[in-house]
């Protein structure tokens, strides 16, 4: 496939491939609604997670408030069902510069990568809404998938290990998303398949950005420790992907039919 070079490092990073049983469910027309709605929520959650990392670890209160204001219309649409989704493309921008805390050794690097990630995830959020409109699917509340919570349950509680673990978790979520977009794209109609392929490059970069930040923040003297945590989360992620799962979603495990 033309994007095999892009996927090669991702497939090496992930310990297991997505089970074919998940693909069979994901490509079924009756599951298009839940796939797109869950994808929409995942894009928002990715932006929120990146914003949280910036607000907690990198920026001052003024910059943190600017980040909150940036996400507010997107969150309002989902959580309060208020606003016109067609206006969101014009709202995907920051109103002021984001400044790192004076005492944050890695603040600027975290800001640079996470602000770009937020912008791209919110753009994808809007694009999924366009897809939902194209297919006549209306947003409705759905239960959260076990996947992200299952990963975050293993994050350490003390710093800087907690931050490093969160970045590694972010890398796995982005890598798995990329793998599943590529797997699903040939099995849906061309309009949706082309959209999934268009996401691959940014999703692949996001997973690399998370790993780069984890290693940068840990420092070269802790590289072996970071590698150990990457391997640890590889096992956690593989279990979530391959174990039986009664709740079918974009990041769910092996479906129980």
- Domains of the chain (ranges; CATH) run 4-255 (1.20.1260.10)
Inter-residue contact 14 to 237 (CB < 8 Å): yes
User: Which H or E run contains 115?
Assistant: helix 107-134
User: Which H or E run contains 244?
Assistant: strand 244-245
**Per the confidence metrics, is the pTM higher than 0.85?**
yes
Angle (nearest 5°) at CA 125 between 111 and 156 = 50
Q: What is the pLDDT of residues 90-121, one digit of tens each?
A: 999 988 888 888 877 888 999 999 999 999 99
Which pLDDT score is estimated for 160? 92
Q: What is the pLDDT of residues 39-50, one digit of tens each?
A: 999 999 999 999
Cα distances from 178 to residues 46, 64, 96, 126, 225, in angstroms, run: 13, 29, 31, 18, 26
Mean pLDDT of the chain: 94
Q: What is the DSSP string of 169-231?
A: HHHHHHHHHHHHHHHHGGGS-HHHHHHHHHHHHHHHHHHHHHHHHHHHHH-GGGHHHHHHHHH
Which pLDDT score is estimated for 41? 97
The pLDDT confidence band at residue 2, using thresholds 50, 70 and 90, is low
Number of neighbours of residue 135 by Cβ within 10 angstroms: 14
Number of neighbours of residue 119 by Cβ within 10 angstroms: 16
Residue labelled with tokens 């797997």: 183
Inter-residue contact 217 to 164 (CB < 8 Å): yes
The residues with which 245 forms a beta bridge, in sequence order, are 255
The pLDDT confidence band at residue 3, using thresholds 50, 70 and 90, is confident
Please give the residue that has the higher pLDDT: either 1 or 214. 214
DSSP state of 153: T
Closest to 36 (Cα-Cα) out of 150, 143, 125:
125
Mean pLDDT of 148-157: 96
The pLDDT confidence band at residue 203, using thresholds 50, 70 and 90, is confident
């Amino acid at each position: 496939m033309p994007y095999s070079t892009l996927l090669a490092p991702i497939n090496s990073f992930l310990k297991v491939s997505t089970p074919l049983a998940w693909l069979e469910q994901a490509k079924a027309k009756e599951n298009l609604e839940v796939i797109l709605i869950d994808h929409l929520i995942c894009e928002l959650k990715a932006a929120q997670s990146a914003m949280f990392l910036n607000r907690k670890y990198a920026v001052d209160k003024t910059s943190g408030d600017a980040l909150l204001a940036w996400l507010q219309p997107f969150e309002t649409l989902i959580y309060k069902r208020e606003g016109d989704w067609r206006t969101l493309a014009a709202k995907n921008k920051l109103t002021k510069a984001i400044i790192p805390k004076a005492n944050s050794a890695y603040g600027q690097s975290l800001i640079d990568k996470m602000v770009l990630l937020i912008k791209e995830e919110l753009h994808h959020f809007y694009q999924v809404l366009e897809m939902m409109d194209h297919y006549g699917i209306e947003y409705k509340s759905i239960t959260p998938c076990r996947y992200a919570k299952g990963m975050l349950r293993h994050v350490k509680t003390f710093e800087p290990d907690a931050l490093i673990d969160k970045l590694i978790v972010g890398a796995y979520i982005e890598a798995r998303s990329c793998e599943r977009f590529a797997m699903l794209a040939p099995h849906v109609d061309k309009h949706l398949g082309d959209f999934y392929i268009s996401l691959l490059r940014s999703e692949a970069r996001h997973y690399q950005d998370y790993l780069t930040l984890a290693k940068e923040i840990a420092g070269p003297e802790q590289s072996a420790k970071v590698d150990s945590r990457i391997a640890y989360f590889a096992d956690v992620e593989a279990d979530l992907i391959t174990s039986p799962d009664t709740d079918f979603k974009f990041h769910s495990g092996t479906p129980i039919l």
